[in-house]
Amino acid sequence: MMLLKLTVLAASLSAALLGQAPQGSTTLKVGDTAPDFTLPSTDGGKMHLADYIGKSTVVLAFFPAAFTGG
Amino acid sequence: MKAFQAGMQKFQESGAKVFAISTDNGPSQKAFLESLGLGFPLLSDFLDRHVSKQYGVYIPQYGVSNRVTFVIDTEGKINFIESGGDAIKLLGAPDACSRLAHKKQGG
């Protein structure tokens, strides 16, 4: 029982630590509804995610900053 | 972002719409887009970084978004997530789009 409690404690501690790690982390997971948003686009207009739902697959690529690698 | 440009053919074949999002302001993004000749629009999450926060990819200490790619299906659900180094190499996102396209065709 003690061992089980320790294991649970260790697991929740690692989860807490992982939660703080900035690299490769997101709070969303597969199956979640994608949060809707509207943002200014380099196209000149605004992009509203909801306009695309039901029409096409959407790829959202977040990246740290312009003129960085990748 | 160059990897996305290289993967554009596969994305386009699958009918997926590609958008890149960063916390840069519009003019910086425009210059970046033109310098690389990117074939997809960049979206500016400059104002209050709210979209990066909504998607849980915001890194407050740097004020920028983490490198994470989401593939969203036609029902608005997240179908695939690629992050960190995998997002740079773009290992799975084009395939995820192809799978979704086939699923749509097959009914």
Q: What is the pLDDT of residues B50-99, one digit of tens each?
A: 999 999 999 999 999 999 999 999 999 999 999 877 667 777 888 899 99
Mean pLDDT of A4-30: 61
- Distance of alpha carbon B59 from alpha carbon B68, whole angstroms: 12
Q: pLDDT > 90: what percent of chain B?
A: 63
Quick: pLDDT tens for B15-46.
999 999 999 999 999 999 999 888 899 999 99
Total of domains in chain B: 1
Q: Which domain holds residue B94?
A: 2-106
**CATH number for the domain harbouring residue B85:** 3.40.30.10
Q: Domain-by-domain residue ranges, chain A?
A: 35-64
Interchain CB distance below 8 Å, B79 and A30: yes
Q: For strand B68-72 and strand A38-40, is the pairing parallel, antiparallel, or unpaired?
A: unpaired
Q: Could you give the CA distance from residue B4 to residue B48 in angstroms, rounded to a whole number? A: 26
Kindly tell me if the per-residue pLDDT of A22 is higher than 60.
no
- Confidence tier at B10 by pLDDT (50, 70, 90): confident
* Separation between Cα atoms, residue B69 and residue B83, nearest integer Å: 6
Give residue B92's pLDDT.
87
Prediction pTM value:
0.81
Provide the pLDDT for residue A21.
40
Asked if A61 contacts B18 with a C-beta cutoff of 8 angstroms, the reply is: yes
Cβ atoms < 10 Å from Cβ of B65: 25
- Window 23-52 of A: residues touching B by CB (8 A cutoff) are 23-37, 39-43, 47, 49-50, 52
Complex prediction ipTM: 0.91
